[in-house]
């Protein structure tokens, strides 16, 4: 019984290795849907970077700007 089980496991492991090698070859072709998916999320990130950059520039102008008006004491 042990020999039969051992031989069966050896046969399964031996014959399943080409299947593992074949699975990685199909991963190279992406396809149009994957490109659109990645492009959509890249567009979302770019659309969030534009307002963040404008806000950063406004903050830096506010911190380091030359227009400092002094408040008059009454």
In a domain, 58, yes or no: yes
In a domain, 69, yes or no: no
Q: What is the dihedral of CA 54, 55, 57, 62, to 10 degrees?
A: 140
| pLDDT score, position 71 | 64
The count of domains in the chain is 1
| pLDDT score, position 59 | 93
Q: Residue 44, SS3?
A: helix
CA distance 56 to 50: 10
In a domain, 53, yes or no: yes
In a domain, 15, yes or no: no
| pLDDT score, position 8 | 87
Domain that holds residue 51: 38-64
In a domain, 44, yes or no: yes
In a domain, 59, yes or no: yes
Instruction: Look over the chain and give the mean of its residue pLDDT values, rounded to a whole number.
Output: 80
Residue 41 pLDDT exceeds 90: yes
pTM (two decimals): 0.44
User: In terms of DSSP H, where are the helices of 1-74?
Assistant: 2-23, 32-64
């Amino acid at each position: 019984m042990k020999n039969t089980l051992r031989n069966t496991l050896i046969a399964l492991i031996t014959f399943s290795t080409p299947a593992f090698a074949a699975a990685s070859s199909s991963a190279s072709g992406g396809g149009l849907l994957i490109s659109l998916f990645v492009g959509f999320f890249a567009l979302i990130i770019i659309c969030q970077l534009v307002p963040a950059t404008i806000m950063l520039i406004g903050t830096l102008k506010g911190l380091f700007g030359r227009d400092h008006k002094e408040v008059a004491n009454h």
